[in-house]
Amino acid sequence: MEDTSIQGQLAEIRKLTEENNQILKAMRRDALIAGIIKFIIWVGLIGFSYYVAMQLIGPYMEMFKGMQGQGQSQDFTQLLKQYQELLGQ
């Protein structure tokens, strides 16, 4: 009598353990999938933000690069002339 009740309890414990393991595996799988989806969303958001910023700011940056290239040589020559004048005095 005692053996049958112990075997019944062991069978019930085994059944509960297997069910618990299935639930834990499903939770782990869901957490992994959610993490991958979050990573993809963040990469997409950052990439999209960078693309939009470059589309909006890009023309201005090109304009400033052109101005910098033209103005830099003129400014440098003017600075050289100023220093030569200061040293000459």
For the stretch 51-74, pLDDT in tens is 999 899 888 887 777 666 555 556
The rounded distance, in Å, linking the Cα atoms of 6 and 76 is 94
Supply the pLDDT for residue 28: 98
Instruction: Using the predicted structure, report yes or no on whether residue 35 has a pLDDT greater than 80.
Output: yes
The rounded distance, in Å, linking the Cα atoms of 76 and 80 is 6
pTM equals: 0.57
Instruction: Using the predicted structure, report yes or no on whether residue 86 has a pLDDT greater than 60.
Output: yes
Instruction: Using the predicted structure, report yes or no on whether residue 1 has a pLDDT greater than 70.
Output: no
The rounded distance, in Å, linking the Cα atoms of 48 and 56 is 12
User: Could you identify the residue written with the tokens 């990439």?
Assistant: 47
Q: How does the average pLDDT of the chain come out, rounded?
A: 86
- Where would I find the H helices in 1-89? 2-88
